[in-house]
């Protein structure tokens, strides 16, 4: 046992000393079954992908090409056309999480400062902590939304990263284009990471001006709106020089070939995504907001496909929904007040959600 203890100490010592103290990001994924539950807990698309995407994956597998290394072809160009940017301004990644990781690792060194307004997506802080950055966390608020002035006030000569999720998760808060550009201009030596992973729901972007602002880096994904989180494909939009530099860090085979096959098929038939977005944002979301208003339930104003709600009895409501095969995501705010972040699906799913909630609210 003494030798085992020494070996354990030796194993720990080969890593950076702060790594063991970070803690893993472990989202509650166990027991989620789309055939048994209405999944409103991870901001996912609530309907299956279109048949042409499934068929493209089946065709690829049956073509006996799984034994070959990935070859990405012109997928970056197709994504660029979808985004109305140049192909040289796009890099595909293994989900947007890899884009976040590559940007932070490439831009920041230990001891430098990262401004990450919170509460927000856990991966920003996770990667910043791995790089041992000093994290400054201005707070979102229900009344003021994005804390622009607090971010500007926090900028120093040590600032190397500023994160702006547009919209933010879990609050659903948007960031005005002029605020993003003001902050980018105020911190020219910092990487300005604008996470647009819910872009399809808001249509708000700064992708058109990445050449004018060389410190702007945008991350997006096919996980949320497009309904393909299992195959893991995201992308970074930035000026061509930044993309060339990031390609020096990304591995040549980091993106799964099946992901490229699926996204290629999805981009060839965007209508199924566009119709879903329209129903969620123009039918389901107003319907659910009306329900919350009528019941007097507090919630954060949201420009996304999810709403962070604060009923008086969140634990009881979450258990009631779970018992009726509806999953939502409990999340506590800065004051440890527990809320329920609820993703919206199509009209029928939202009607089912409201009917189930009405039994207990």
Q: Are residues 221 and 312 in the same domain?
A: no
pLDDT of residue 339: 98
Instruction: Give the Cα separation of 124 and 101 in Å (integer).
Output: 8
Host domain of residue 207: 51-268
State the burial class of residue 20 (Cβ atoms within 10 Å of its Cβ: 0-12, 13-18, 19+): exposed
> Which of 237, 253, 268 is the endpoint of a domain?
268
Q: CATH number of the domain that 234 lies in?
A: 3.40.640.10
Q: Are residues 197 and 330 in the same domain?
A: no
Residue closest to 50 by CA, chosen among 204, 274, 220, 205: 274
Q: Are residues 295 and 311 in the same domain?
A: yes
Task: List residues bridging with 39 in a β-sheet.
Answer: 327
Task: Specify if 9 maps to a domain.
Answer: no
pLDDT at 2 over 80: no
CA distances to 105, 129, 131 from 23, in Å: 18, 10, 14
Mean pLDDT for the stretch of residues 290-306 = 98
Q: Are residues 101 and 250 in the same domain?
A: yes
pLDDT at 59 over 90: yes
pLDDT of residue 68: 96
Q: Which residues contact 228 (CB under 8 A, 6 or more apart)?
A: 49, 53, 222, 259, 262, 263, 266
Q: Are residues 43 and 59 in the same domain?
A: no
pLDDT of residue 21: 86
Task: Specify if 22 maps to a domain.
Answer: no
First vs last C-alpha separation in the chain: 56
Instruction: Give the Cα separation of 206 and 199 in Å (integer).
Output: 11
Structural contact between residues 40 and 326, judged by C-beta atoms closer than 8 angstroms? yes
Task: Specify if 4 maps to a domain.
Answer: no
Q: Are residues 307 and 168 in the same domain?
A: no
Task: Specify if 142 maps to a domain.
Answer: yes
pLDDT of residue 6: 59
Mean pLDDT for the stretch of residues 262-287 = 97
> Which of 202, 233, 268 is the endpoint of a domain?
268
Token look-up 């058109």 returns 208
Q: Are residues 312 and 244 in the same domain?
A: no
Q: Are residues 252 and 315 in the same domain?
A: no
Q: Are residues 129 and 75 in the same domain?
A: yes
Task: Specify if 170 maps to a domain.
Answer: yes
**Three-state secondary structure of the chain:** CHHHHHHHHHHHHCCCCCHHHCCCCCCCCCCCCCCCCEECCCCCCCCCCCHHHHHHHHHHHHCCCCCCCCCCCCHHHHHHHHHCCCHHHEEEECHHHHHHHHHHHHHCCCCCEEECCECCCHHHHHHHHHCCCEEECCECECCCECCHHHHHHHCCCCEEEEEEECCCCCCCCCCCHHHHHHHHHHCCCCEEEEECCCHHHHCCCCHHHCCCCCCEEEEEECCCCCCCCCCCCEEEEECHHHHHHHHCCCCCCCCCHHHHHHHHHHHHCCHHHHHHHHHHHHHHHHHHHHHHHHHCCEECCCCCCEEEEECCCHHHHHHHHHHCCEECEEEECCCCCEEEEEECCCHHHHHHHHHHHHCCC
Task: Specify if 323 maps to a domain.
Answer: yes
The count of structural domains within the chain is 2
pLDDT at 226 over 90: yes
Instruction: Give the Cα separation of 75 and 120 in Å (integer).
Output: 30
Read off the pLDDT of residues 90-144 as tens digits, 9 standing for 90 and up: 999 999 999 999 999 999 999 999 999 999 999 999 999 999 999 999 999 999 9
Task: Specify if 1 maps to a domain.
Answer: no
Q: How confident is the model at residue 332 (pLDDT cuts 50, 70, 90)?
A: very high
**Does 319 sit behind a cis peptide bond, omega within 30 degrees of 0 on the bond before it?**
no
pLDDT of residue 5: 59
pLDDT of residue 29: 81
Structural contact between residues 256 and 229, judged by C-beta atoms closer than 8 angstroms? no
pLDDT of residue 12: 58
Read off the pLDDT of residues 60-96 as tens digits, 9 standing for 90 and up: 999 999 999 999 999 999 999 999 999 999 999 999 9
Task: Specify if 199 maps to a domain.
Answer: yes
pLDDT at 30 over 90: no
Q: CATH number of the domain that 333 lies in?
A: 3.90.1150.10
Q: Chain centroid to CA 335: how far? A: 24
Q: How confident is the model at residue 1 (pLDDT cuts 50, 70, 90)?
A: low
Read off the pLDDT of residues 179-224 as tens digits, 9 standing for 90 and up: 999 999 999 999 999 999 999 999 999 999 999 999 999 999 999 9
Q: Are residues 236 and 282 in the same domain?
A: no
Token look-up 């006996």 returns 64
Q: Are residues 64 and 146 in the same domain?
A: yes
Q: Are residues 150 and 293 in the same domain?
A: no
pLDDT of residue 84: 98
> Which of 268, 286, 305 is the endpoint of a domain?
268
């Amino acid at each position: 046992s003494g030798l085992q203890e020494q070996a354990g100490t030796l194993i720990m010592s080969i890593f950076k000393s702060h790594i063991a103290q970070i803690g893993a990001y472990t989202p509650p994924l166990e027991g989620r079954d789309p055939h048994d539950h209405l999944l409103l807990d991870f901001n996912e698309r609530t309907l299956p992908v279109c048949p042409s995407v499934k068929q493209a994956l089946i065709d690829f597998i049956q073509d006996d090409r799984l034994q070959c290394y990935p070859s990405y072809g012109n997928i970056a160009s197709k994504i660029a056309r979808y985004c109305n940017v140049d192909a040289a301004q796009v890099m595909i990644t293994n989900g947007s999480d890899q884009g976040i990781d590559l940007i932070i690792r490439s831009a920041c060194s230990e001891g430098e400062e990262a401004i990450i307004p919170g509460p927000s997506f856990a991966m920003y802080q996770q990667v910043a902590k791995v790089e041992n950055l000093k994290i400054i966390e201005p707070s979102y608020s229900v009344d003021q939304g994005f804390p622009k002035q607090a971010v500007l006030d926090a900028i120093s000569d040590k600032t190397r990263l500023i994160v702006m999720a547009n919209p933010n998760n879990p609050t659903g808060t948007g960031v005005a284009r002029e605020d993003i550009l003001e902050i980018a201009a105020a911190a020219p030596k910092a990487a300005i990471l604008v996470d647009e992973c819910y872009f399809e729901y808001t249509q708000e972007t700064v992708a058109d001006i990445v050449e004018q602002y060389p410190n702007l880096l945008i991350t997006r994904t096919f996980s949320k709106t497009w309904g393909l989180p299992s195959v893991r494909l995201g992308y970074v939009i930035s000026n061509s020089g930044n993309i060339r530099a990031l390609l020096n860090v990304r591995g040549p085979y980091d993106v799964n070939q099946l992901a490229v096959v699926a996204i290629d098929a999805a981009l060839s038939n965007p209508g199924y995504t566009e119709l879903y977005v329209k129903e969620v944002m123009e039918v389901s979301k107003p319907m659910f907001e009306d329900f919350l208003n009528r019941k007097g339930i507090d919630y954060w104003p949201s420009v996304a496909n999810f709403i962070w709600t604060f009923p008086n009895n969140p634990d009881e409501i979450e258990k009631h929904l779970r018992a009726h095969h509806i999953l939502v995501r409990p999340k506590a705010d800065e004051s440890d007040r527990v809320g329920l972040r609820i993703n919206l699906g199509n009209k029928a799913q939202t009607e089912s959600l409201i009917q189930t909630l009405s039994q207990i609210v």
